[in-house]
Amino acid sequence: QVRVVESGGGLVRAGGSLRLSCAVSGSIAAVNTMAWYRQAPGKQREWVVEITEGGSTNYADSVKGRFTISRDNSRNMVFLQMNSLKPEDAARYYCNARIVTMDHSWSRPSENDYWGQGTQVTVSS
C-alpha cells in the first residue's frame, strides 16, 4: 500500500506564509516527479508546481517568485513554501506523486500517480 499525506495547511492573512509538507510511505521502489495542485470551491483542480527527482522545478505563472518547492528524497517528502499569500491562493492543496511500485515478486515495476487527501489553505484579506 502507498500513502500520500499532506500537512501544514491553515488560516493566514494576506501577505503571510505557510509551509506545506507531503510524505509518501509504503512499499515503494522509487518516487519520481512530485507536484502540488490546488482546487478552489467551484473551480477545477489546477497544477501549481512540480519537482523532479533530480530537483528540476516548474512553477505556474501565478505563483512564480512567491512559492518554492523542495524535496527530501531520503524521506520521500516534498515541501511547498508559500510566501506573500493572496486571497486567490486559497484552496485545497493536493500532493501528487509519481511512484514506482513492484509486483509481489519484485520483478515488474509499475509507475502510477498517487494523490493525497489534501490540506486546506485559507487566506483572509
pLDDT digits (tens, 9 = 90+) for 39-71: 999 999 999 999 999 999 999 999 999 999 999
Given a contact cutoff of 8 angstroms between Cβ atoms, the answer to whether 66 and 82 are in contact is yes
pLDDT digits (tens, 9 = 90+) for 108-122: 999 999 999 999 999
Q: Which residues pair with 110 in a beta bridge?
A: 101
Please check the confidence at residue 3 and state whether its pLDDT lies above 90: yes
Q: Which residues pair with 92 in a beta bridge?
A: 39, 120
Based on the number of CB atoms within 10 Å of its own CB, is 75 exposed (0-12), middle (13-18) or buried (19 or more)? exposed
